[in-house]
Each structure stands twice: as structure tokens, then as C-alpha cells.
Structure 1
Amino acid sequence: MSATTSNPPPQEMQRGLKNRHLQLMAIGGAIGTGLFLGSGKLISVSGPSIIFVYMVIGFFVFFIMRALGELLLSNLHYQTFGDIAKDMLGPWAGFFVSWNYWFSWVIACVADIIAITAYVQWFNPEIPNWLPALIAAAALLVLNLQPVKYFGETEFWFAIIKIVAILALIAVGVVLVLTNFTSPEGTQASFTHLWDRGGMFPMGASGFVLGFQMGIFSFIGVELVGTAAAETQNPRKTLPKAINSIVVRILIFYVGALAVIMSVTPWDEIDPSKSPFVSTFALAGFGIAAAAIQLVVLTSAASSANSGLYSGTRMLFGLSKDGHAPKSFSLTDARGVPRRSVFFTAVFLFAAIPLLFAGDGVVAAFTYVSSMCATLILFTWGSIVVSYIVYRRRFPERHEASKFKMPLSRVAPWMVLAFFVFIAGTLLYGEDTRLPFLAMPFWFALLTVLWQLRKRKLLREGRPLTASVPTVTHPLDEEH
């Protein structure tokens, strides 16, 4: 693969991600802070039915990712969701999708840095809250100024830490059940706890529905594989592997972990304010469990912020190439890094520092920001599915020639869109998520105004409304 050894053109990124990077990024992207920290609250709201919630969300996420995979492999010149949207839906769609995705990751990064600060203070409350935020933001900036292979390596090890923690939890939990472990409260570990405390739907339909509203947070980031594909050495081989493993990952890391947790400690005895991961290890007699899991959650938040800054800079790079952002953002250094895009996006990470002085409002702000991310990601995922519907109608020959076809490609996209309508309803239904959801029309109104201004400027200067996507054979396909 010559692209990793020779200097790229001044406006191109390198394909420096290897197969193992993409596979582990796909796993890491599906394991968020929500699983480690928020699963206690989820269990208290939904009971054992949370297992089915994750299965259902995972089912639809798999179809979204298969649609994205077929689209990306139908033309290796696609580098982001924005490229797909502008090609299938029009220049305005590329503008909306790319800026929306950039914004969603910026606010997610700010939330993660606030979370990192809280985790650091757990070890030592005397540390001033601005210091870990400053160090985290600076470290993320430096890391993203390195060639993409270093980003891939960092995410590889972040993912390894998360995977080991979850597999260790499952192993410990299974041992506790098989040895008939009895807690200090006199409760014996048993798989029957999944249904012997009011059944698998103890909170009824409302608890099941609220599980979707909160559970969707956990899956934000799974689409990162699509962003990274543009910098992968052999996407035709690595992308299908990464996408097809999503179902197995969800079964092991979400369904498996939560089933074991609720078998060791019945769902109605789990403290929603604490991480059930910490509680399970503590029950087993591992005194250092709290500190160990706290470190894992800290690295999970750092991993999410790192992925977010990476995704945001790549979107900004694409926007600049399309004429939808200042031209300087599409310039790369000799190592293929879009440095100005990195600097501009990183500036917003330091916004986490003044937020930390908001006093009691930090936790509320974190919840609000997370809810905004969930609403914004529905738009991103929706753009992928709608683009797929248009692609299948407009290019039936590409679909027929594809070696990675989306299963049930005639009906699945419509099923996914119907599911999004349901998720939007749950976001309106939940008190914590209602206000952020209702605030989103203002963001899209702002994007509409900005698009009209940018469109007039491009027309006035006699420039195209967006850069065209090449249809010639990609160099990677010529090599293989």
C-alpha cells in the first residue's frame, strides 16, 4: 500500500489505519460511558427488560451500519456521510449533515471532558476542577495533530481496556452465580433473578419505552467506523468485518454484561446512582474494584472525546473541500493531518473549563448535552438511511454489483425510519430529554440561514455549490 509511505498531496489525508485499528475502533465506538456509568439508572427504570431494549436498538443499528457499508463501498471516493448525502440528496444535504455531525461531536467532547474532571476528582477532591479539563483538552489536541496511525493505535488500546473490563465482569459474575454466592444482605446469585422479581417487564410498557429513550445514548459513536473508512488501508476487506461483528459485540458487551449484573444483584436492589460494574466487583470481594472501574470509565470518556475530535476534524476537512467552510480547513501537513481543522475544533473543547465553574449546574448540563447528542445522531443516522433509499432507486446496477449488500434492502430502510419516529417520541416522552429535543429546531433553523448565506456566496463567486464526487475507478480498486 503505497499511500502510507509516500507523501500525500497537500489536500489529502493518509490511509494509515490498519485492520486491527478499525476492528477495535468499531468495538470501542459501541461501548460508551453510558454502559459503565448509566446502566444502573437504566436498570432502575426498565428492570430486566433493558436487555430487550439493547437487542432492539442493536438490531436497527446493524441495518444502519449495513446501509452505510454498502454506500461507502459503492464508491471509495466517499470519505464521510456528508459526501454520501451531497451525492444522493444534493449540496444542501452535505452541508446540513456535515455541520450537524461536527456540532454533535463538539458538544459530546465537552461533555466527556466534564466527565473526565468528575472522575479525576473522585480520586482526589482537592484537585481544582479546571486542571484535569485543561490537561485533557490539551492532550486531545496534541494527539490529534499526529498522523492518523497514532490515533488508531490510541483507540486500539483504549478499546482493549474497555473490553477486558467487561469480560472480567462477565467472568466474575458467572463464577458468583455458579458458586451460589450469597450477598451480605442474604441474596443468593441466580439467573432466575432476571424474571423472579415482577417478571422481565416489571415496570410495564412505560418502563420499556423509557429504556429506549436513555439506551440510545450508549450507541452514539458506532458510526465512527464510517468516518474512519476513508483512512483505512483496505476498506473492501476491513469494513465488512467491522460492521458484521456489531451484533456479536452487542450480545456480549451489553446483553451479556447486564444479564450477569442483574443475576448477581436483583434489578430492584441495584443503586441507580452507582455503577453496577463497581458494585458487582465489590460484592465479589475485590476491594480495589472501585478504583479500577473508575480508571476504566475515565479512559472510556477519554476514548470518546478522542474519537469525537477525530470525527469532527474530518467532517470540517470535508466541508472545506466542498466550499462549505473556509478553504484553509482543507489544508493538510506533510503527514496528511488537517491541522487547521484540528485546531479550530479543539478550541471548543476548552469551553468545558468555564462550564465547570457553573456550580451545581454541571450535572444538569451534562445530561442536557447528552440528550442533544441523541437528537443530533438521529439526524445523522437518518441521513444515511434516506441516502441509501435514493441510492438503491437511482443506481440499481451498483446495488446489484455490490459484494456487501444490505440485507432486506427493500424494507429495512423504512423499518429503521419508523423506528426513528418511535425514538423521537420517547425523547419527547422523557422529562430529561424533552427540552433538548424541542431545542433542536432552532439549531436546524440556524443551519438553514447559514446554508442560504453560503449558497449565495458560492453563486456570486461562480463556484459550484459543492465539490463533485469522482466516479472514476479509485486507486485502491486499481491495485487489487
Structure 2
Amino acid sequence: MTSQPSLAKEDSTPSGPVKSQPGSGNGDGDGLKAGLKNRHLSMIAIGGVIGAGLFVGSASGIKAAGPAILVSYALVGTMVVLVMRMLGEMAAARPSSGSFSAYADQALGRWAGFTIGWLYWFFWVVVLAVEATAGAVILNEWVPAVPQWGWALIVMVVLTATNLVSVGSYGEFEFWFAGIKVVAIGGFVLIGMLAVFGVLPGSDNPGDGFKHLTDAGGFMPNGAGAILTGVLMVVFSFMGSEIVTLAAGESEDPQRAVTKATNSVIWRIGVFYLGSIFVVITLLPWNDKSIVKDGSYVAALNSIGIPHAGQVMNVIVLTAVLSCLNSGLYTASRMAFSLGERGDAPKAFARTTSAGVPRTAILGSVVFGFAAVWFNYQWPKTVFDFLLNSSGAVALFVWLVICFTQLRMRGIILREQPEKLVVKMWLFPYLTWVTIGMISFVIVYMLYDDAGRKQMVLSLLVGALVLGIALVREKVAPRERVSE
């Protein structure tokens, strides 16, 4: 069964019809296939929002904001919920492997789809290098006989191979990776809350209830401004929530999958992010040195008396790393496929094998990922540092484009396919504009923040470069209208 057509080639009119051309795949393929099962999509939706950043990056946020880091997570979580609602509205109506890039292409113009599509691809291929290196560090500790670069190569090759077999292989791997993350976080929250109230048998934690929320300098020990600093530290750990809308295009029932994922995003963020961080800062005082030294989750588990907490978390973090690497390769390749379909990338990217796999798009993405891994080992403080910083703010750009796209797409959907508007953004257009204001504030604040300025400036420069290329391409070679 072939997936729903993506919002591909179109005329320059924002509301013009879109016609997708299936990839030819060496003469055998006929486009992407619906190879993802409902259980795959459900677990991708639940676990996709849990990145390695939650496990390894939360300690710095707690150090900066104290217990008020909960407010930082709540603010970013609210922003993500609103953005996902907007994206869900569009994806449920028109499932596409290009997701927000394809919608921006139609609603705002070719320049928008081109720019945000390539920036998103760039973000994920850099993530491939980050996650491959992070996984290699853990594996090298377990088996030091294999050098770090060797482990990075192994994990990249294995996950590339699974993605090349079929989309079902990606789905199956992600189902189990995400499942482990979900069970781990769920178990952590449950055991942690029992320990907080002193009812966990054999716990070493005194079970002081909510005492630690205020007993070390109050709820906001570093002032209200630290909440904004915390926002900058945690915002990028939410990147990945939108993956399910790309994957939905290769599922048997895209509309149902997107609707379910969109409706469940609130409790997912509430339990996995707010719930787990709440457990950490109620089990330990926020300024306990072990939070930074050992990591927030390991420190919390140690306070309970869980044996070998460090190794337990290493297994979970490795799973999160492999999950992110797996999804990053899938996401980058599908975005490249969509760009190829629309004529905004080499046509070879839009070709698929007989199994519906965009082989060239996968290999093209992983080659850049391999190069980035090499840069990380050769020039970590120069070239790789530039790649990290210049792609770091892409999440904010993506969310902002989703907001502006939804403002236009609502009218297009109502005019062309009103029956497909099964998921609706709340209080449209007011909450959309509020979300635009929130994201814009974070972008501006990053420019004034010493820690975030370099990342935002470099990301804006790369964004401006890609936008310039898009505008020149549109002027020199306007896309021809594709007849029905």
C-alpha cells in the first residue's frame, strides 16, 4: 500500500494544488510504502519526545534555576504542545513525508519549504554525529579494546543498514528503543514518588515529601530570571516531537496516528519531562553536588539506594542515544526525499527501491553524518563546534515556521478539504499568535544571553544563507506547475 501523497511540486501561488510524484527507485520503486504499523507509530509518538538530552542535560538546568526549573520545563512544554497541535491539524488533514516543510512550501511559498527543509535536514545530520559519539563513549567504557571512533562507526553502520532494509525495520527498532525509554522513565517516576513520601520499602532516602522544593534558598533561589536561563537550557531537549508527523506518511492510517499523537502530547510531556524532573528535585536538594557530578537521574537513584545506578542509567542513556540516532537518520532521509520530490534537492533523493526505501536520501544523509563524526574527532573545537552552534537554534526556527504555516493552511484546508479538518488548533488564531510571540521572545532572549548568543547568531547566519539560496533558485528557476 502506497502512502498518502506528499505536498510536493506546486506553482508559486500559496494556495495552489499540490501533486506528488512518486520516486522511481532505479526503475523499480513506486514511492514510499505504508510499512509502519499502528504499534510502531504509537510508540514513536510516546517515546519520540524523550531524547538523551533529558537524561544528560537536566542537571545543568537544575543548577541554574533550582526547583524553578519546573517552570522552565512547563513553559517550553506548553510551547511544544501548542506547536504540535498546529502541526497535528495540518498533518492529520494532509499526511506527508515532508511534514511542515511541505506545508510551508504550499502555504508560504517555495522559499519557505526549501529553507526550513534543508535547515531541518542539517540539524539531524549533525545530531547523527553527536549521538554516535555519545554512544561510542559509553560503549568504549564497557569494551575499551574497541576505540571510540570504532564504536561510532559500528553504530552508524548498523542503524544505516536497518534503515536501508525497509521502513518497517526502522519502526521495529524504534518500537523497542522507545519502549525501553518509556518503561524506564515510568518506573523512575513511580519508584521516585514512593520514595519521596517515604513508603518505598528499603529506600535510603529520608522521604521528606516536598520539603526540598523550598528548603535550599526557596523555590527560586537564583531569582526569576534564572527561569529564562533554564528555558534556553531545556528547549532543545524537546526537539523530536514532530517526528511522528513525518512517519505518519508511511503508516496504514496516517490520520488516526497523527490525531492520537497530537491528543496525547500533553500527558507525555507532563509525565516524562515534568514528572521525572519533579521526582529529582523532591528526592534531593537542588544544590546537592551529586546532581551535577553524577547526573540528575543517577543522583536520584543513588539517594534511594538503587544498586549500580550509574550503569543502569548508562544502559538507558545508550538506548536513548541509539533511538535518537535511528530516528535522526530516518527523519533526515525523509526530509531529503521530500525535498527531492519537490525539485529542491537532487532528483536521486526522490527515488525509492522496490521496498519503498529512499536509498540515496539515506546514504546522502549518513555520508554527511560520517563526515561530521570525523570532524568531531579531528577538529572538535573548531569545525564541529561550528556545526553544533550553527544548527542549534533550528528547533526554534522550525516551530516558528509551523506557526506561520498553520495560519495560512487553515484557510487552504477549509477551502479545499474541509472534511479533513479533524484536529483543530485551540482558540485559532489567537493561541497561534501567542505561540509566535513566545518563540520570538526566546529567539531574542538568546541574542542577549551570553551562553546562547553564539548559537543563535551562527544559526541565523546559516539560515540566512539557505534562505538566500532559496530566493535565488526561485527567481532563476521557478517551479513549473504539475498537472493533475
Deviations 1:224-266 (A, max 9, x none): 1111121111122221111111110111111111111111111
Following the alignment from structure 2 to structure 1, what is the Cα–Cα distance between the partners of residues 185 and 96? 37
CA displacement at 1:365 relative to structure 2: 5.1
* Partner residue in 2 for 1:424: 443
SS of residue matched to 2:305: coil
Aligned residue identity for 2:294:
K
* 2:313 maps to 1:284: no
Q: Which has the larger displacement, 446-455 or 37-46?
A: 446-455
Following the alignment from structure 1 to structure 2, what is the Cα–Cα distance between the partners of residues 59 and 399? 29
* 2:349 maps to 1:326: no
Q: For the Cα contact (< 8 Å) 2:135–2:152, is it kept in 1?
A: yes
Following the alignment from structure 2 to structure 1, what is the Cα–Cα distance between the partners of residues 96 and 158? 31
* Partner residue in 2 for 1:335: 355
CA displacement at 1:124 relative to structure 2: 4.5
CA RMSD of aligned residues (A): 2.7
Deviations 1:403-447 (A, max 9, x none): 211111120110111011121133224433221211123212321
Aligned residue identity for 1:445:
A
The structure-2 alpha-carbon separation of the partners of 1:381 and 1:316, relative to structure 1 and needing over 3 Å to count, comes to same
* Partner residue in 2 for 1:149: 168
Q: For the Cα contact (< 8 Å) 1:213–1:430, is it kept in 2?
A: no
Number of residue pairs matched by the alignment: 459
Aligned residue identity for 2:401:
S
* 2:68 maps to 1:49: yes
* Partner residue in 1 for 2:461: 442
* 2:406 maps to 1:388: yes
Aligned residue identity for 1:419:
M
CA displacement at 1:187 relative to structure 2: 6.3
Aligned residue identity for 1:392:
R
* 2:227 maps to 1:208: yes
> Gapped runs of 5+ residues in structure 1?
471-480
CA displacement at 1:453 relative to structure 2: 5.0
CA displacement at 1:451 relative to structure 2: 2.3
Of 114, 127, 136, the residue aligned with 2:155 is 136
* Partner residue in 1 for 2:11: none
* Partner residue in 2 for 1:346: 366
Following the alignment from structure 1 to structure 2, what is the Cα–Cα distance between the partners of residues 425 and 190? 38
Of 300, 304, 313, the residue aligned with 2:320 is 300
The structure-2 alpha-carbon separation of the partners of 1:150 and 1:397, relative to structure 1 and needing over 3 Å to count, comes to same
Of 335, 351, 372, the residue aligned with 1:315 is 335
Aligned residue identity for 1:203:
N
TM-score by length of 2: 0.88
Q: For the Cα contact (< 8 Å) 1:158–1:300, is it kept in 2?
A: yes
Q: For the Cα contact (< 8 Å) 1:70–1:405, is it kept in 2?
A: yes
Q: For the Cα contact (< 8 Å) 2:284–2:303, is it kept in 1?
A: no
Aligned residue identity for 1:387:
T
SS of residue matched to 1:202: coil
> Gapped runs of 5+ residues in structure 2?
4-21
Following the alignment from structure 2 to structure 1, what is the Cα–Cα distance between the partners of residues 135 and 52? 11
Q: For the Cα contact (< 8 Å) 1:108–1:373, is it kept in 2?
A: no
* Partner residue in 2 for 1:275: 295
Following the alignment from structure 1 to structure 2, what is the Cα–Cα distance between the partners of residues 90 and 356? 36
* Partner residue in 2 for 1:74: 93
Q: For the Cα contact (< 8 Å) 1:212–1:426, is it kept in 2?
A: no
* 2:216 maps to 1:197: yes
TM-score by length of 1: 0.88
SS of residue matched to 1:255: helix
Q: For the Cα contact (< 8 Å) 2:97–2:247, is it kept in 1?
A: no
Deviations 1:99-134 (A, max 9, x none): 111111111111111211222233345542211111
Q: Percent identity?
A: 33
* Partner residue in 2 for 1:233: 252
* Partner residue in 1 for 2:55: 36
Of 92, 98, 103, the residue aligned with 1:84 is 103
Deviations 1:285-308 (A, max 9, x none): 332221121011011111111111
The structure-2 alpha-carbon separation of the partners of 1:196 and 1:102, relative to structure 1 and needing over 3 Å to count, comes to same
The structure-2 alpha-carbon separation of the partners of 1:252 and 1:373, relative to structure 1 and needing over 3 Å to count, comes to farther
* Partner residue in 2 for 1:163: 182
Q: Which has the larger displacement, 308-317 or 127-136?
A: 127-136
Of 39, 42, 48, the residue aligned with 1:23 is 42
* Partner residue in 2 for 1:405: 424
Following the alignment from structure 2 to structure 1, what is the Cα–Cα distance between the partners of residues 402 and 380? 38
The structure-2 alpha-carbon separation of the partners of 1:169 and 1:243, relative to structure 1 and needing over 3 Å to count, comes to same
Q: Which has the larger displacement, 400-409 or 16-25?
A: 400-409
The structure-2 alpha-carbon separation of the partners of 1:110 and 1:357, relative to structure 1 and needing over 3 Å to count, comes to closer
Q: Which has the larger displacement, 132-141 or 175-184?
A: 175-184
Aligned residue identity for 1:379:
F
* Partner residue in 2 for 1:473: none
Following the alignment from structure 1 to structure 2, what is the Cα–Cα distance between the partners of residues 250 and 371? 26
* Partner residue in 1 for 2:263: 244
SS of residue matched to 1:103: helix
Following the alignment from structure 1 to structure 2, what is the Cα–Cα distance between the partners of residues 125 and 78? 40
Q: For the Cα contact (< 8 Å) 2:44–2:175, is it kept in 1?
A: yes
SS of residue matched to 1:271: helix
Following the alignment from structure 1 to structure 2, what is the Cα–Cα distance between the partners of residues 411 and 125? 55
CA displacement at 1:53 relative to structure 2: 1.5
Aligned residue identity for 1:130:
W
The structure-2 alpha-carbon separation of the partners of 1:95 and 1:356, relative to structure 1 and needing over 3 Å to count, comes to closer
Aligned residue identity for 1:206:
G
Deviations 1:70-114 (A, max 9, x none): 112233467422211111011111111211111111111111112
* Partner residue in 1 for 2:12: none
* Partner residue in 1 for 2:9: none
Following the alignment from structure 2 to structure 1, what is the Cα–Cα distance between the partners of residues 242 and 140? 31
Following the alignment from structure 1 to structure 2, what is the Cα–Cα distance between the partners of residues 46 and 156? 34
Following the alignment from structure 2 to structure 1, what is the Cα–Cα distance between the partners of residues 113 and 23? 25
Alignment of 1:93-132 (within 5 A): 93-125=112-144, 127-132=146-151
